[in-house]
Structure 1
Amino acid sequence: MLTNDDGIDAPGMQVLEEVAAQIAHEVWVVAPEHDQSGQSHAISLHHALRISERGDRRFGVTGTPGDCAAIGLCHIMKDNPPQLVLSGVNRGLNLGMETVFSGTVGGAMTAMMLGCPALALSQAFKDRNNVPWDTARSLGAETIRKLLAVGWGKSAVLNINFPPIPAAEVGPMTLARQGEGAVAGMHVDSRIDPRGMTYHWLNFKRGDIQQGPESDYSAMRAGKIVVTPLRYDRTDDDAYAELAEHLPRFGQ
């Protein structure tokens, strides 16, 4: 089953459908009707969701990537659940801190939470108007096959990022840790609409942040296909140990 956060008509979905057709005997698409970037793991609890049939085994949902994962696994494919969920291919990288906000990662995480192995896939670019989709298209199926052959824990989603270079120049698939990322804050752009009312756009501020030798960003800059296992458990072990010196641990 495929989903994404850029929307069912996004070029990355077409790429993912082509990739999935090489590894699966049957492919289903359950994806947002419109762009849902930045929705993270959001689930719609306060408004109804509508489903539209967009072709054979293709469904658009008026909701988030998390909604799509839930609708697909718990409703559309309830009686014949998929063996794998692929979320993407996202237009732009999903590395470091940005994975917290990513709807691509959120869709995969929701599928994993519902018991289905899931991968999040993203294609980095240098020019927004010239995304190198052929890199993910050419290397996607082989990458997924290799990861399926190796296997991974049920509590993790594999976050895969393809570098912004031609497929022939891409280095080997490389395991990396989530780095600090490039998010250095938020910027609020305030404007006035034609009726004189104020409205606001949120944007990330990005900076050149030290990443560390095993980081996903460092691997991406080296031209590798970057694979990072992500999980829901966000307990910070360093902070936990420090607090344990002053607070009793539950169960002890």
Structure 2
Amino acid sequence: MRILVTNDDGIHSPGLWALEEIAKALSDDVWVVAPETDQSGASHSLTVNDPLRLRQVGERHYAVRGTPTDCVIMGMRQILDSDPDLILSGINRGHNLADDVTYSGTVAGAMEGTILGVRSIAFSQSYSHAQGTEPPYETSIAHGPGLVRRILEMDLPADVLININVPDVAPDAVAGVKVTTQGRRDQALLNVEERHDGRGNPYYWIGFQRRKFAYVEGTDLEAVRDGFISVTPLRLDLTALRVLDDMKSALNSQ
């Protein structure tokens, strides 16, 4: 089995090394193609107005000066001589839950692989974000290979990618695995902070606020909070089927 590994935290991210360990537990044909620099929040963006620079950093290891989407395309269309059987994206430094998936370059790497016809899985490791703390990647490494094997045994639709979020606990403290729906936070977490440079000119940082919100049963948010590994199947088709018939009645030409 040929595996292509990518991420959005960059070619030197410890999470990428951790995901490569998971991949090597599954196969000896593992290729790494990741962004040259941190692309967190890049979502499913594609570089079309600038050239892509490719740099080989080791055997079967390549850095692309671009987004996770660029990396998957470069891996499949330029670097590999045949398509991979599996694409793994991550392990993201921090979870990608609920609304996060719309911003996430990690999820976008798996999304692009799915568009190109390859079974794709996004991995994220939750952690506290407290100063001086690091994500417990060892938890993902311990549980990842077995979980991926079980997913690969399933007959999933071609337009489905898998979003895995691992809780911020030690490997032996994981409560289990839960298949979940994508949650929704009930308050906007993004805010803009104004600062000033040495000359008094303003500049701005977009950041996340820490707020409490309701945990809905069966969602990825609830599962990770309770110490479970969350496995969420996501679809490429974003059509809002619940309103489709009403809109047809209201807008279709008679």
With the shorter chain as reference, the TM-score category is over 0.9
Q: Which of the numbers 176, 195, 200 marks the counterpart of 1:191?
A: 195
Give the structure 1 partner of residue 100 of structure 2. 98
1:217 maps onto 2:221 in alignment:
yes
User: How do 1:1-252 and structure 2 match up within 5 A?
Assistant: 1-77=4-80, 79-128=81-130, 129-181=133-185, 184-248=188-252
Amino acid corresponding to residue 96 of structure 2 in structure 1: N
Cα deviation code 1:154-203 (max 9, x no counterpart): 10110001111111111222110001037614211122222443221111
Change (3 A) 1:212 1:241: farther
Q: Please tell me the residue identity of whatever aligns with 1:13.
A: L
For residues 68 and 206 of structure 1, the distance between their equivalents in structure 2, rounded to whole angstroms, comes to 32
Q: Deviations over 1:96-153 (max 9, x none)?
A: 0110000000111011111111000000012442311110111111111111112421
The residue type paired with residue 12 of structure 2 is D
TM-score by length of structure 2 reads 0.92
Distance 1:50 1:173 in 2: 39
Deviations 1:61-86 (A, max 9, x none): 00000110111111111x22211000
- What SS does the aligned partner of 2:188 have? strand
Q: Secondary structure at the match of 2:251?
A: coil
Q: In structure 2, how many angstroms separate the alpha carbons of the residues matched to 1:13 and 1:85?
A: 13
CA distance in 2, matches of 1:229, 1:91: 20
DSSP-derived class of the 2:30 partner? coil
SS at match of 2:85: coil
The residue type paired with residue 93 of structure 1 is H
Ranges in structure 2 where 5+ consecutive residues have no aligned partner: none
Query: What TM-score does the superposition give when structure 1 sets the normalisation length?
Result: 0.93
Amino acid corresponding to residue 82 of structure 1 in structure 2: P
2:128 & 2:239 partners in 1: Cα distance?
34
Taking a change above 3 Å as real, the CA distance of residues 183 and 9 of structure 1, as seen in their structure-2 partners, is: farther
The number of residues matched between the two structures is 249
Cα RMSD of the aligned pairs, angstroms, is 1.7
Residues 138/210 of structure 1: CA separation in 2 closer, same or farther (3 Å cut):
same
Question: How big is each residue's C-alpha offset from its partner over 1:191-221, in whole Å with a ceiling of 9 and x where there is no partner?
Answer: 2222443221111335333342111111111
Matches of 1:191 and 1:127, distance apart in 2: 22
Counterpart contact for 1:3–1:29, Cα < 8 Å: yes
